[in-house]
Each structure stands twice: as C-alpha cells, then as structure tokens.
Amino acid sequence: MSSNDAAPKSRFLVLHDYGMGGVWWWIQARSAREILETFAWIEVVTDPETVARQEKDGELEEVDIDAPRMPPGLDGLRATRHAQRGRPGFGALADRDVVYLRRRWDEEDDKDDEDDEDDEDPAVYLMEVSPDGRRIRQVELAEDGTAVKSGPDDWPFNPPVVDLFDPELVGLQIGRDEFEEQWARARRLDVGR
C-alpha cells in the first residue's frame, strides 16, 4: 500500500463526452488527477451548477476508483488508460494550458463514422487544444494546399478531440509559431457550406 492509497477519498463528478451526448458517473477518488490518470477520455466536472444539478437528480452510478470491476463504459476507459500508462510520453502534455498538434484525418481515423463519404480527401488538421482536449482553433490543410480556419462558433459540437495523457500525441506536437503562421494564411470557414 502506497502512502497515496491511505489518503481520504472524495466524490468527483466525471463525464465521458462523445459529442452528441455523454456518460456521467460519480467516482470516489483521492484526487481529480488520480481520476485522469486512471481513465482515458474522462473529464472531472467542477462547475458548481452542473455538480448541484447532478447531486439533486441522484440517478448517477457511483463507483470507487479502486474497485476491481467498473461499470460498462468506464471499464473500457480504464483499460485504455492502463495500456497507455507505461509508454514513453504518457501524460507529457497533460499539464499544459495550450497544446498545438498536427493530426492527419482520413478514412482510418473515422472508419466507424456513418456520415463519412468514401470519396472525401484526407486532410491535415492543425489544432490549438485546451487542457480538457477541446479545440480552441483549427486549421484544415487540404492536399491541394488550401487552408481553412475555424473556431468554436463554426462547430455544432466541440467534444474533446484528444486525451492529453495519450502518449501518441507527443509525436504530433507542433510549435505555436507553426500554428499561427498557418492560421494567418488560412481563409475563414464558409458557414453553411
């Protein structure tokens, strides 16, 4: 038993936001950081109104972080995090205020998305990402060299697009200067296209 295991636990409201909805739980843990290090794609919700609403509702499942079995959904998020934990780069980007990433999206990245068009060209996305994994700004670089910039007002949903504990992200990191250069040359997203 480590000294951290003896620390008292508190109740935290957590959300797995998948864009068009989310799954919520209460988790008994020693800290919010412990939750983020234990479960992939989870955010600890601290907004007082949201916490009060969920407390009043009283319908969420509550689990202990040390329980050997987790409810469906949370079990897979724990398994994902467990697989990431020992790899180089695990959590390297987690404590940053802003992260800049270059990420290629193509049919492999969205193979389960029913709305994908088979003839759509792959693109590279430069993203400015907040600590909760949500995009702040984005530049889409098409293979023909065109660049389109967008922000939260352009997106109908803005769920987390990355989990900053994921060790794979370290290799996708770019500098702020590169992002800003592309942002400055990109045209605005055509609304309603």
Structure token digits, residue 31:
């800290």
Distance CA 102, CA 122 (A): 13
Q: Which of 64-73, 115-124, 134-143 has the lowest mean pLDDT?
A: 115-124
- List, for residues 21-32, the tens digit of each pLDDT value: 899 999 999 999
What DSSP string runs through 104-161? Answer: EESTTTTTT-TT--TTPPPEEEEEEE-TTS-EEEEEEEETTS-EEEE-GGG-S-----
Is residue 53 a contact partner of residue 60, using CB atoms and an 8 Å limit? no
pTM strictly above 0.85: no
| Segment 48-81, tens digit of pLDDT | 999 999 999 888 999 999 999 999 999 999 999 9
Tokens of residue 8, six digits:
């008292």
Residue 181 · residue 129 · CB < 8 Å: no
Could you tell me how many residues make up the chain? 193
